[in-house]
Amino acid sequence: MTPSTSASADAPDPRRTAYDESFPAPAKAAIVGVGLLGGSIGLALRRRWPEIEVWGTSRNEARRRLAVETGCVTRAVADPAAACRDADLVFVCTPVGKIAQHCTALAAACPSRTLLTDVGSTKRQLVAQIEQDPRAAAMFVGSHPIAGGERTGPGHARADLFQGKRVVVTPTAQTDPARLRQAVALWQTLGSEVLQMSPETHDRLLAGISHATHFASCAVASILRPDELPLVGSGWRDTTRVAAGDPQMWNDIAMQNAGPISQRLGDVREALDRLIAAIDSGDSAALLQLLTEAQTLRKSLPAASAEHAPRSGHPENVSAARTDPAPGD
Amino acid sequence: MTPSTSASADAPDPRRTAYDESFPAPAKAAIVGVGLLGGSIGLALRRRWPEIEVWGTSRNEARRRLAVETGCVTRAVADPAAACRDADLVFVCTPVGKIAQHCTALAAACPSRTLLTDVGSTKRQLVAQIEQDPRAAAMFVGSHPIAGGERTGPGHARADLFQGKRVVVTPTAQTDPARLRQAVALWQTLGSEVLQMSPETHDRLLAGISHATHFASCAVASILRPDELPLVGSGWRDTTRVAAGDPQMWNDIAMQNAGPISQRLGDVREALDRLIAAIDSGDSAALLQLLTEAQTLRKSLPAASAEHAPRSGHPENVSAARTDPAPGD
């Protein structure tokens, strides 16, 4: 259950040394869905292998043009199958609800040597779907880069988006060992620290550290009346920040990872019930213990380095902002 | 229920014009508990009236020394009654659990002309306690500046901490109208926008925009196992930031405002239940609606100006940070 890192100790500069030279340098990569992540993969690949051909796809013409103009890809087309023809690497970067069908369709359009991967933030369900197709199963290794940014689209892509970030790779019993090694080496080459775990472990872990947090934040946000909003302080702003996220994207994630998310939201509800019970009964001792446990856990979080959390402007090593008087006496 | 502002339209520079000159300029102020808020009040008073004497109190000797060295007060003593002798203005800036007893005791030690106020983030219970003492009731006007900072103590005090911030003033039927006008004028003079509402309305409002948010954030934080922590992203960091706050301070707030906080936490639990039910039943339409409502509310929040939320480094006008792929297709 504890994730294990597969980063090799003797790779001080992963960009230069991690890619396993027993795999040939890729001549062509395809990125299905050139958004922030797909675009950043393109930039990172082109920085590492300046000769590489990178084809990107989008159904949106303006986005295709932008992907080429920003150098994320060398060529952009609408048809995923056309982009993947002869590709050594294929990255499926669409919303999670569409990843499995893309992978299955594209496996048939690619040469059998192709490494097929994705960037979806859920894994169990889509990996299981892909593995129902033997050809796709043999070519696919699931990936989830824990990286992103406030802004979306190829216009905000960065070649160093994965530098120092974690990427979870989710092999199964059906995964081809050579392709797994290739996927690990590839993400390390793009600067990431690679963790390996099963799709099930990934989904349980992400349900806690990301998905349930998102839905709980939405629950907190939703209780305010619009006329109360102008009075909120920085505490409410931060606690509910993620609730501004795209409903369709989070709906897709919930549908792909319902069980673990529901279980973790149940944990939040139980924690809430304990707090409410302590407050209702005036049980200071119980409340203090619950608050101290939460504080201890939160304070034990390693400080965000500039690389790991560039979006968060406030330092993590100061105590919580308060709209309340500092105890002065 | 809707708070009404009492800021006068013809006061473009509140520092210079708001103080009602029908009240004499204060010759002496006392600040019981010189922390961040108390210290900032001292600095702001001394900037407005350079001749004013400001006495501060703390039980902690190092803090008393610091309060004088940083210019927050002109003199620091351990005994609140000694500090308040002959004071025109008394600000009680202790933790909320101690404000009422301080106010009652200090009313007896002050001249009858004194304006007695506080900065507590709960109001109903402490105002009711104070009003059981007729002398204290006649001198007291409850205040709650919605301002603060990550750091505590007079070493982080700032003369402009209240500039552009909201201060809620909570008169009751027993409040002396002249003292109420004086309290409003005083906070305006320190640069604040003053809202007036009853202690009950204040506590219900704050339960939603601040207190319940804090406890819900603690509930979210508390479900993670320590071994999951190193993998969290910026979403978890922000959603749980306030959970690092002082348990004793929040315990005091919960005990002073138990009813409204419990009710608002019940609202969070109901919102959570609706999300869990939609996820469990795979009801995408219901889930999308709940997520869209939360998103709409969160996005309607006015962007934080530098003055209103100086602590929050990330701009509010960008969409939520994500660890997930931007929908690329």
Half-sphere exposure in the Cβ direction for B193 (13 Å, CA): 13
By DSSP bridging, strand A89-92 and strand A115-118 are parallel
3-state SS class at B4: strand
Residues in chain B predicted with pLDDT less than 50, given as ranges, are 1-16, 305-329
d(CA B89, CA B27): 9
Q: What are the Cα distances from residue A276, in Å, to A164, B121, B254, B265?
A: 40, 19, 10, 7
Count of CB pairs separated by less than 8 Å, A with B: 478
Reported residue count of chain B is: 329
> Nearest 5°: phi and psi at A43?
-60, -40
Q: For A288, which of B226, B243, B247 is closest by C-beta distance?
A: B247
Residue in chain B nearest A285 by alpha carbon: B251
Is residue B284 packed enough to be buried (19+ CB in 10 Å), middle (13-18) or exposed (0-12)?
Answer: middle
Low-confidence ranges of chain A (pLDDT < 70): 1-18, 21-22, 148-151, 304-329
Q: Regarding the domain delimited by B28-197, which CATH topology (the fold level of the hierarchy) does it fall under? A: Rossmann fold (3.40.50)
What angle, 0 to 180 degrees and rounded to 10, lies between the N-to-C axes of helices A258-280 and A212-222? 50
A113 Cβ under 8 Å from any chain B Cβ? no
pLDDT of residue A160: 94
* Closest to B6 in 3D by CA, of B187, B163, B202, B141: B187
Q: Do B244 and A319 touch (CB under 8 A)?
A: yes
Domain boundaries, chain B: 28-197, 202-299
Q: Which residues, listed in sequence order, are joined to residue B144 by a DSSP beta bridge?
A: B168
Name the residue among A213, A288, A318 with its Cβ closest to that of B220. Answer: A213
According to the model, what pLDDT value does residue A47 have?
96
DSSP B143-189: EEEE---SS-SGGG--TTTTTT-EEEEE--TTS-HHHHHHHHHHHHH
Among B26, B22, B29, B52, which Cα is nearest to B178's?
B22
- Euclidean distance between CA atoms B183 and B176, whole angstroms: 11
Q: Token pair of A190, please?
A: 């793009």
Task: Single out the residue of B97, B108, B94, B85 nearest to residue B30, CA to CA.
Answer: B85
Placement of tokens 């707090």 in the chain: A275
In this structure, is the dihedral angle defined by the CA atoms of residues A34, A38, A39 and A41, taken in order, positive or negative?
negative
What is the rounded CA–CA span in Å between residue A244 and residue B235? Answer: 11
- Specify the pTM: 0.82
User: In this structure, are strands B166-170 and B140-146 parallel, antiparallel, or unpaired?
Assistant: antiparallel
CB contact under 8 A, A329 and B94: yes
Helices and strands in chain B, H and E counts: 14, 9
Kindly report the nearest CA distance between residue B156 and chain A, in angstroms: 11
Interface contact flag, A35 B120, Cβ < 8 Å? no
pLDDT number for residue A147? 78
Q: Determine contact, residues A86/A52, Cβ cutoff 8 Å.
A: no
Question: Closest Cα to residue A84, out of A51, A119, A55?
Answer: A55
CA A125 to chain centroid, in Å, comes to: 16
Residue B229 at interface with chain A, using a CB cutoff of 8 Å:
yes
Q: Which residue has the tokens 């600095």?
A: B43
First to last CA, chain B: 47
Of the candidate CATH numbers 1.10.357.10, 3.30.70.20, 1.10.3660.10, 1.10.569.10, the domain formed by A202-299 belongs to 1.10.3660.10
Q: Is A173 exposed, middle or buried (0-12, 13-18, 19+ CB in 10 A)?
A: exposed
CA-CA distance, A173 to A137, in Å (whole number)? 10
Measured in angstroms, the CA of B13 and the nearest CA of chain A are apart by: 22
Nearest Cα of chain A lies from the Cα of B191 at a distance, in angstroms, of: 17
Q: Does B132 touch chain A (CB under 8 A)?
A: no
B12-37: burial string, b at 16+ Cβ within 10 Å, e else: eebbeebbeeebeebebbbbbbbbbb
